[in-house]
Structure 1
């Protein structure tokens, strides 16, 4: 994932693997790639159809939670598979470190062996060793006692950084589900480091902030960690954490660094959640967050805690985004998604399309992809979805986790309330379909016609290529989710 030698340190704004893409309209209309369509594909595990893929592609599912799966350490596999990273394993195998986004519950207990971070929090990470064809060799608990582990990022020194998408804790009032936090033993809302070949020390990196973290990526040149925030009801920020010591020298991320938040030069409180003009480009600066792990006074509500860190940056003019989620570093550029970005300006939200799930939360669009150029400190909108395209199979809808292929193509997971795709985003600014989820999430009968209906609304998450690029591993996040290994002629489909 880290091709750091391909561009000079002083790369121009249009450098990096997507330089051709940046010459296209930010609002180019997505559609099917002209060279192929998706067709039903049989799962190599049991012959069931769970995905639609291009012809010539195969897949195997594993570690589903429809039936109990016991890990190698005796742990019952938790559900809600989310962000995931791939690392080289023994004998040519791949190690996958995988998040489980288990929500808060008054009756939750930590899974797995070893002393958990919080005995009353049910999320964390599992590590699974697989072949390039998705055959499971071993698996075990690698982090337990955390909460809402959403996404994260692969670190080049051989670790996975996992992110808690919450600020729950005994010092905060009931969460968005109405669940009291009085049962919790520890504060949440942090990032944790998980070695690719072992277990986490379960120590949060508190200096990197307590806010609803989503994903991270790492710039090995400057030694800086970039962080996205998915704050559903409120503006989200784009952050960076500058550790005291370069992790490429120490082999770990220290807890002695400095947290900063992105601001647009000359435009305090820039509304970047709003629809952007073609190739909108901004020079940026970074403002310090003086108190990244704030003390919550007695009586602090969940809503108040959610903005404690971000408000420090916004008081200094930091930019406003809508739901920042997946991100990846490639050739001196950090690409990240704004899941509900690209809608009308806030004062025009009444004009937003209200026919699906973009009608709630902060931001009313169907999604943006941004590029932050680390060397030039410049931000540019790479792609922006149409606001009101009612043809579900043509829309770029709620981009979430992302990764890059061996060739530099962005691979984007969707998290929509309708059909969810994995999309490819080319250098020429074109979107096309890589996979379609056909894992049934809901069954119903039309009360008038009696027609039998199936919905496939569970999101793709955790896209990550095996070292060398042979296999794309990806999750479907659901209470009965699973992981997939997908392989085939990637070059033929532009991936």
Structure 2
């Protein structure tokens, strides 16, 4: 596949347009080398990497029946081990579950952290060690969950009622960025009254001028949040988002773009805008090196890596999972393991009853 530069950059102008430049890079090897042949579970990896399935929908793992349609996820430190939390994107009976790992990677426990919610798609981790699980449903909610299983999950209604996709916390400006999965969705930020407590606060939307304006009625009893501010900037199907080093990266599936919002300056860049190698942009995370790992919803069923040098190349591929999508990429706290799921697995069933959750171990750049 061709290695492509990330095409467009520019600031948000008063008219809402982007100054756009373009560049191309020649073909060549990716930062981790070519992909090898797929293993028994269909996973193709670069040299030096190994993978395994750690959970499958409907099958027991450490005493828990793993949920259907695994989606967004994140990792949390747990003594000398770690925890991986995963959402369940099914209607009415969704929620989230957790896998607890020992230092050697053994699964020690599995348990639910959220139950009885609707279409839990993506979300995001907080700096204070909780998981924000987002409902991708009309008038969807954000639930704050305890990944360690000690406290009940709570809805954070001040964060708005809309088709939530993902969340990313900015500890410098003390805000939470939020994406909306609608063809005319918006990019929001939530300013809690007290950082670390999401019970109260102000929901704001990015406008075409680059300013943030308050959403008058976050509960949206009559008018959708995305329609309440006349000059709100609209995005074509907001998906994953991830904050790293004063930048919130987020994806939009309708136009297959990866965006970069520079929180320190207010500049908005289109970081990736090409048909290949990355197609069907969805969940996004980052390695300690600053490399972005972007999952595909369909496409070639790949996770692509976008380097700081502004090139994109496949990092892994799933063969035989053509009716599925890749979800929930997240690194273990030490950066040595990457977790993700094939939401519908090999069978591709609409209910996600064959979901596979994977772990990849190897020499990730740190």
Corresponding residue for 1:381? 270
- Identify the match of residue 432 of structure 1 among 313, 325, 331: 313
- Structure with bigger helix share is 1
Q: TM-score, normalised by structure 1?
A: 0.65
The question of 1:163 aligning with 2:134 is answered: yes
Deviation of the 1:40 alpha carbon:
2.1
Deviation of the 1:31 alpha carbon:
6.1
Deviation of the 1:375 alpha carbon:
1.5
Distance (Å, rounded) in 1 between the aligned partners of 2:262 and 2:221: 34
Distance (Å, rounded) in 2 between the aligned partners of 1:481 and 1:383: 28
Q: Say whether the 8 Å CA contact 2:113–2:153 is kept in structure 1.
A: no
Deviation of the 1:85 alpha carbon:
0.5
Q: TM-score, normalised by structure 2?
A: 0.87
The question of 1:69 aligning with 2:60 is answered: yes
Deviation of the 1:222 alpha carbon:
1.6
Corresponding residue for 1:473? 339
Q: Say whether the 8 Å CA contact 1:122–1:146 is kept in structure 2.
A: yes
Q: Say whether the 8 Å CA contact 1:405–1:469 is kept in structure 2.
A: yes
Corresponding residue for 2:207? 263
Q: Say whether the 8 Å CA contact 1:62–1:134 is kept in structure 2.
A: no
The question of 1:204 aligning with 2:155 is answered: yes
Deviation of the 1:133 alpha carbon:
6.4
Q: Structure 2 matches for 1:199-348, cutoff 5 A?
A: 199=150, 201-231=152-182, 234-247=183-196, 253-265=197-209, 284-296=210-222, 308-313=224-229, 315=230, 317-341=231-255
Q: CA 1:81 to 1:32, structure 2 compared with 1: closer, same or farther past 3 Å?
A: farther
Deviation of the 1:71 alpha carbon:
5.3
Distance (Å, rounded) in 2 between the aligned partners of 1:55 and 1:151: 30
Q: Say whether the 8 Å CA contact 1:415–1:460 is kept in structure 2.
A: yes
Q: Structure 2 matches for 1:95-134, cutoff 5 A?
A: 95-103=83-91, 121-131=92-102, 134=105
Distance (Å, rounded) in 2 between the aligned partners of 1:30 and 1:239: 36
- Structure with bigger strand share is 2
Q: Say whether the 8 Å CA contact 2:277–2:314 is kept in structure 1.
A: no
Q: CA 1:239 to 1:41, structure 2 compared with 1: closer, same or farther past 3 Å?
A: same
Secondary structure, counterpart of 1:54 in structure 2: coil
Deviation of the 1:29 alpha carbon:
6.7
Unaligned runs of 5+ in 2: 1-9, 12-19, 345-351
Aligned length: 340
Deviation of the 1:51 alpha carbon:
0.3
Which deviations, in whole Å up to 9, do the C-alpha atoms of 1:207-253 show, x marking residues without a partner? 1111010000011112100000011xx30100000000111xxxxx3
Larger Rg: 1
The question of 1:56 aligning with 2:5 is answered: no
Distance (Å, rounded) in 1 between the aligned partners of 2:81 and 2:143: 25
Corresponding residue for 2:29? 33
Deviation of the 1:77 alpha carbon:
2.2
Unaligned runs of 5+ in 1: 1-12, 15-23, 43-47, 104-120, 168-187, 248-252, 266-283, 297-306, 342-366, 387-393, 442-455
Distance (Å, rounded) in 2 between the aligned partners of 1:150 and 1:213: 8
